[in-house]
Every structure is written in structure tokens, then in C-alpha cells.
């Protein structure tokens, strides 16, 4: 059992509880709000393949009544506290977050202790929750962009780490209320959990409150993160459509890698904003598509660069060729002005984050999950400002895009 320990780096307090929960608190005294993000190791990777969608089902069910509150009462209390709340399931975690007036923070913390520690998991609401998930899944399957992006993620990371959180109609139909109970008992615990708090709070008081409501929570071992097992491929989903949807991905490095920001700057030059290369050179100058983008994605031990373009069947092949060509040729003609624009965009985002307790709490949780500590805003700013054009160029020259996964949806296959 770990010994409780507290450390302070910059203005971020990190407290390790004896049951394995890590608490991070950043005061933002200029705000009138407080926010938290609670991340538990109950994500997609803890499901079995036949039970795909179970993590999301449990996330839904734990919020349908907890402690002394019925499902309806729970919603009313959250509203009365002024809580702007969210929840969701990712590959590694299930997360619950909320922002609220500072004076509501203590009661909100107790409420979410009930939700994750003492949920009712009402069997009589199981069928309603399942039907809601099936309807959401069907909506996604009717949306071509989401279909191709979902499939390219599976090709990138493999069937376990790459599958979506919605499952399939077959897997959802096979789930039972007992499956929900079993998954909850196995995966909702303090071990490996992360609770981050940001806003107008006192760190010492917050740590004391969290110890009071979570300190005696059970702790289970956390297994090592599985390894991605995706592979390069091209798949075409035939559809009688006036549009062609193109999704692509290739392996990259994860957040926390020493070269991450050198890689990230290149992706930013390609696709951050309306002055980026893909938007300007593929969409605006050539008029090949109505949308095109690329972005980074990270798992705990792997990363990828994902992209999408939507166009007409007549222009689909040229859109694919030109888009991948721009990515390949990124280091050939880099200009300082492109890097400078990207830096300004990132700095602007950091400034905006200082006005949102919810955004900062979420960033703290993401940092700790990925790299085992939280980056201060000043530290991140220094990293960004220190990047040079040679840093970006050298990275992309020594790590050229390769092993593409490509998925298209439309009337005709493309040449890859």
C-alpha cells in the first residue's frame, strides 16, 4: 500500500493517496468557479471483445441513482448545485467531470463519491440504457464521416485498442445487467485513478476533502496497458453516394515522447487553422474538397496521426494523392512564418485555458495519465517557444510517414 505523499511543482499540488488514487490541484484564484475530472481505469481496453460497449453502458448506469438519491433526484441535485457536467469513456479510462460555482464544490465532490462508489445500477433501467446506446450507435453508422474514422482507428490500433466506445448492435444486445455489475466491481476502484481539481480552491483543503470521501475506497491492481496490433491496409466501403469520404492514419509517437512537440508542430503547420497547408493548398487553391484535416492522437503507449477529407467521387483520387503528398513533402519548404503562426495559436489556447477551470482540470488529468505528471502552463509555453524550424524539419525528415491505413466510402475504390 503506497504511503500518502504530497509534492508541489509550480502552483500544482500532487497528492498520492494510500489506496492508489492520485490527486492534482491547481488554484486559479482569479476565477469564481471550480472544476474536477475523475478518471478511473475502466475504459474500452478492459472490455472483452464480445462485450464491446460494456464500459460505456456502465458509465451510463452508474449515473442512474446513487447513495440516497434516485436517478431523478440525482439530476435535480446536480442542477441545484449549478453543475455543468460531462462523462465519457476512452480507451484507457472512464471519466466524470464537472464545473460549478466554487461554493458548490464540496457537495459536488461528495455527490460524485456516491456516484462512483455507491451507484444503484438499477436493473429495471438496463433495457432503457441499452436502447439509448443502440440508437446512438445507429446514428453513428448513418454518418459516413464517423464510419470511416471509426474503421481507420481500428486499423491503426487493432480491434481491442481501436474499437469505438459504442460497441456493436450484436454486442450490446448480448449484454446483461449482471455484466454491468461484474464490470463495475472489477474496474471502479481507486487503483490507478486520477482526480484533478482546478479553480478558486485551496489545495490543502481540497486534499483533505478528497481524503475524507475517497480515502477508504477499495483498490485493485491495474494491469499494464496492452500493445496496439494494427496493420497497414486499404479498405473501401461501397456506397451509392454523391460524396467520397477518405480517412487515413499512420503510426506516430505518443504524448510524453521527447520528440512529441517537434512532431506536433509539423501537424499544426499542416492542419491547425485556416492558414494551414492542407486547408490552403488542398481545399482553397485547388478546390479539391469541402473539408480536409489532420490531427494527433495518443494512447498511453502509442500514438497516431489521423486525417480526413470529404470530396466528390470525381475529385477523390486527386484529393487523396495531393493530401498525402503535402504530408510527405512537409519538410521540403517549411517557412518560419508557418511555425510562428502555430506558436501563436498554441499560446492563445494556453491563455484561454487560464479562463476555464474545466479545461485546466481536464488537461491535468490527461497529462498525468500520459506522462505521470502535470505540465505547468509556463513549462509548456517554454517548450513551444523553444522549438525551431530545424527541429520540425529534422523530425519529419527522419520519421517520414509510412504504413498508412486508409478507408474510403463512396461509389468507387481509389488507387492506393
The residue out of 214, 245, 280 marking a domain boundary is 214
Residue 57 within a domain: yes
Helices in 97-175 by DSSP H: which ranges? Answer: 105-117, 126-141, 144-157, 169-174
Per-residue pLDDT of the chain (416 residues; tens, 9 = 90+): 556 788 888 899 999 999 999 999 999 999 999 999 999 999 999 999 999 999 999 999 999 999 999 999 999 999 999 999 999 999 999 999 999 999 999 999 999 999 999 999 999 999 999 999 999 999 988 899 999 999 999 999 999 999 999 999 999 999 999 999 999 999 999 999 999 999 999 999 999 999 999 999 999 999 888 999 999 999 999 999 999 999 999 999 999 999 999 999 999 999 998 899 999 999 999 999 999 999 999 998 899 999 999 999 999 999 999 999 999 999 999 999 999 999 999 999 888 888 899 999 999 999 999 999 999 989 999 999 999 999 999 999 999 999 999 999 999 999 99
Residues 158 and 289 in one domain: no
Residues 207 and 243 in one domain: no
Domain that holds residue 349: 233-410
Residue 225 within a domain: no
Distance of CA 188 to the CA centre of its chain: 19
Q: Provide CB contacts within 8 A for 388, sequence distance 6+.
A: 339
Of 271, 326, 327, 306, whose CA–CA distance to 407 is shortest?
306
Residues 157 and 237 in one domain: no
Residue 221 within a domain: no
Residues 161 and 254 in one domain: no
Scored b (16 or more CB within 10 A) or e, 52-61 reads: bbbbbbbbbb
Residues 164 and 247 in one domain: no
* pLDDT at res. 66: 97
Give me the residues paired with residue 66 across strands: 69, 119
Residues 247 and 395 in one domain: yes
Q: Strands (DSSP E) along 163-320, which ranges?
A: 194-199, 233-238, 244-252, 289-298, 303-311
Residue 219 within a domain: no
* CATH classification of the domain holding 26: 3.30.830.10
The residue out of 151, 181, 214 marking a domain boundary is 214
Number of domains into which the chain is organized: 2
Residues 267 and 203 in one domain: no
Residue 226 within a domain: no
Residues 197 and 258 in one domain: no
Residues 183 and 242 in one domain: no
Residue 416 within a domain: no
Residue 158 within a domain: yes
Residue 352 within a domain: yes
Residues 256 and 379 in one domain: yes
Residues 238 and 172 in one domain: no
* Report field, pTM of the whole predicted structure over 0.75: yes
Residues 209 and 252 in one domain: no
The residue out of 149, 183, 214 marking a domain boundary is 214
Amino acid at each position: 500500500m503506497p504511503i500518502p505523499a504530497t509534492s508541489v511543482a509550480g502552483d500544482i499540488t500532487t497528492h498520492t493517496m494510500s489506496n492508489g488514487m492520485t490527486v492534482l490541484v491547481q488554484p486559479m484564484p482569479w476565477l469564481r468557479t471550480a472544476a474536477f475530472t475523475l478518471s478511473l481505469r475502466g475504459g474500452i481496453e478492459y472490455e472483452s471483445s464480445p462485450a464491446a460497449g460494456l464500459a460505456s453502458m456502465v458509465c451510463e448506469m452508474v449515473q442512474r441513482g446513487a447513495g440516497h438519491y434516485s436517478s431523478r433526484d440525482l439530476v435535480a441535485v446536480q442542477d441545484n448545485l449549478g453543475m455543468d457536467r460531462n462523462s465519457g469513456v476512452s480507451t484507457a479510462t472512464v471519466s466524470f467531470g464537472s464545473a460549478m460555482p466554487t461554493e458548490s464544490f464540496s457537495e459536488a465532490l461528495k455527490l460524485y463519491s456516491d456516484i462512483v462508489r455507491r451507484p444503484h445500477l438499477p436493473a429495471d433501467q438496463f433495457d432503457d440504457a441499452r436502447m439509448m446506446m443502440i440508437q446512438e450507435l445507429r446514428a453513428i453508422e448513418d454518418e459516413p464521416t464517423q464510419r470511416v474514422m471509426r474503421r481507420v482507428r481500428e486499423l491503426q490500433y487493432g480491434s481491442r485498442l481501436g474499437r469505438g466506445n459504442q460497441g456493436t448492435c450484436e454486442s450490446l444486445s448480448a449484454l446483461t445487467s449482471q455484466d454491468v455489475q461484474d464490470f463495475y466491481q472489477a474496474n471502479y476502484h481507486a487503483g490507478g485513478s486520477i482526480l484533478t481539481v482546478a479553480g478558486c480552491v485551496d489545495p490543502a483543503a481540497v486534499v483533505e476533502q478528497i481524503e475524507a470521501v475517497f480515502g477508504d475506497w477499495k483498490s485493485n491492481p491495474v494491469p499494464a496497458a496492452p500493445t496496439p496490433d494494427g496493420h497497414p491496409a486499404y479498405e473501401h466501403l461501397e456506397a451509392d453516394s454523391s460524396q467520397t469520404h477518405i480517412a487515413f492514419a499512420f503510426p506516430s509517437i505518443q504524448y510524453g515522447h521527447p520528440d512529441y512537440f517537434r512532431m506536433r508542430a509539423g501537424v499544426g503547420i499542416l492542419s491547425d487553422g485556416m492558414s494551414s497547408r492542407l486547408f490552403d493548398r488542398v481545399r482553397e487553391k485547388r478546390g479539391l474538397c469541402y473539408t480536409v484535416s489532420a490531427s494527433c492522437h495518443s494512447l498511453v503507449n502509442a500514438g497516431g496521426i489521423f486525417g480526413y477529407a470529404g470530396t466528390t467521387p470525381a475529385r477523390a483520387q486527386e484529393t487523396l494523392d495531393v493530401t498525402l503528398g503535402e504530408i510527405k513533402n512537409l519538410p521540403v519548404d517549411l517557412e518560419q512564418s508557418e511555425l510562428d503562426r502555430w506558436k501563436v495559436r498554441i499560446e492563445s489556447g494556453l491563455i484561454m485555458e487560464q479562463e476555464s477551470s474545466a479545461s485546466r482540470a481536464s488537461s491535468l488529468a490527461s497529462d498525468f495519465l500520459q506522462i505521470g505528471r502535470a505540465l505547468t502552463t509556463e513549462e509548456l509555453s517554454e517548450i513551444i517557444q523553444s522549438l525551431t524550424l530545424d527541429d520540425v524539419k529534422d523530425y519529419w525528415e527522419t520519421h517520414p510517414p509510412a504504413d498508412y491505413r486508409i478507408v474510403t466510402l463512396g461509389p468507387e475504390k481509389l488507387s492506393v
